[in-house]
Amino acid sequence: MASEFGSFELASDIEGHQDLFGKVFNSGDADAVNAMYTEDAIGVWDPGKPLTGQARKDRVAEFLSRGPTVDATVRQSFVTKDIAMLIVDWTIDTTSVEGEPEHLEGAAVDVLRRGEDGKWRYVVDSPYAINNPYGQDV
């Protein structure tokens, strides 16, 4: 798979997925980040507003345009056959839409599916699923 990030292989082991995601995310390459999701993936980056399809891809590109960097650690991993659920503690340092420094953090619930090619991709990405700072359902 080629992108501005360079040629990279999606993770075939769930343990390597999060490290790869961090490297790809921190590269700022929206095409590479979006390649780590299934076509029908759901992103819930704003509480109560799940995005799919082109809207999800556009949101990734918009967010990455602000130069965020992520640091994430898998707290728990549950795998059954070709489905995985990861509980991930994360922090992001970025610039707000107003141009001010912004620090974000949370605990995500991510669901991934292993494709026919043996590679893991996000199906659901819900970064504020645990201890939601907005006090709303995600």
Mean pLDDT, contiguous 10-residue spans, the chain (138 residues): 67 95 96 97 91 97 97 97 97 95 95 97 93 51
Name the nearest CA neighbour of 125 among 38, 65, 55, 2: 38
pLDDT of amino acid 132: 54
28 dihedral zone (left: phi>0; alpha: psi -120 to 50; beta): left
Distance of CA 11 to the CA centre of its chain: 14
Residue 47 lies in a domain: yes
Question: Considering its fold, how many domains does the chain have in total?
Answer: 1
pLDDT of amino acid 62: 96
Check which CATH number belongs to the domain holding 22 and give it. 3.10.450.50
Residue 83 lies in a domain: yes
Residue 5 lies in a domain: no
pLDDT of amino acid 38: 98
Reported pTM = 0.88
Q: Whole domain around residue 73: which residue ranges?
A: 14-130
pLDDT of amino acid 6: 63
pLDDT of amino acid 130: 79
Residue 138 lies in a domain: no
